[in-house]
């Protein structure tokens, strides 16, 4: 097992690794079979906590630090809002309903376009404009936020303030619902 030293990895490293994990999670969520629901729930959780941390910490820092930060982060927030609406619709229908793969494919395309633009326009510029020390601290902020962030999409939670206010409320609530669903699945023999 590889343990990444917490203060040597910067926020760009953390988020790019998560982008890779999300791409893999989309592939697993598309596979048919009994593991699809669990893969789907894992994908939703990855996307929800990832975006919550970006919206609460990364985009605000980019907004303030980059020369064109306002324009860049406005575009990223619009993309995230679109993806969150697609994710919410997919969450409501679930992996067992008609049209799941079509909706999943549409969401995957939107998320992957967004991630590529983030990496190209925002992350590269952050590395130029922000000190290495601050980027490492920002990575710690992102990790901490992801520990208590909501595990499912909440459409109106899509900026710095709403993420910082809603995270401590919806994060534990979502996690409690996740545990209850898991226990219900265990008791019914489907988990």
* pLDDT value of position 187: 80
d(CA 179, CA 156): 24
pLDDT in tens, 114-151: 999 999 999 999 999 999 999 999 999 999 888 887 77
pLDDT in tens, 158-174: 655 665 666 666 766 67
Ranges of H-type helices in the chain: 11-30, 36-53, 59-65, 69-93, 100-117, 124-129, 132-148, 160-188
Which position has the higher pLDDT, 136 or 181? Answer: 136
* pLDDT value of position 1: 41
Which two three-digit tokens encode residue 128? Answer: 């130029």
Which two three-digit tokens encode residue 174? Answer: 């979502």
* pLDDT value of position 7: 63
Angle between helices 36-53 and 11-30 (to 10 degrees): 160
pLDDT in tens, 20-60: 999 999 999 999 999 999 999 999 999 999 998 998 889 99
């Amino acid at each position: 097992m590889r343990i990444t030293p917490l203060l040597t990895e910067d926020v760009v490293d953390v988020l790019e690794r998560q982008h890779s994990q999300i791409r893999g999670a989309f592939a697993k969520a598309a596979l048919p079979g009994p593991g699809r629901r669990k893969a789907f729930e894992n994908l939703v959780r990855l996307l929800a906590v990832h975006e919550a941390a970006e919206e609460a910490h990364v985009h605000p820092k980019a907004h303030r630090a980059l020369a064109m930060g306002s324009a860049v982060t406005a575009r990223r927030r619009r993309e995230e809002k679109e993806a969150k609406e697609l994710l919410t619709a997919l969450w409501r229908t679930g992996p067992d309903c008609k049209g799941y793969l079509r909706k999943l494919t549409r969401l995957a395309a939107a998320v992957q376009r967004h991630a590529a633009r983030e990496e190209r326009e925002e992350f590269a510029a952050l590395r130029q404009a922000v000190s290495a020390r601050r980027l490492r601290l920002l990575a710690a902020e992102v990790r901490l936020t992801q520990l208590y962030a909501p595990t499912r999409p909440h459409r109106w939670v899509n900026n710095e303030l709403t993420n910082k206010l809603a995270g401590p409320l919806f994060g534990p609530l979502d996690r409690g619902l996740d545990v209850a669903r898991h226990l219900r699945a265990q008791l019914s023999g489907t988990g």
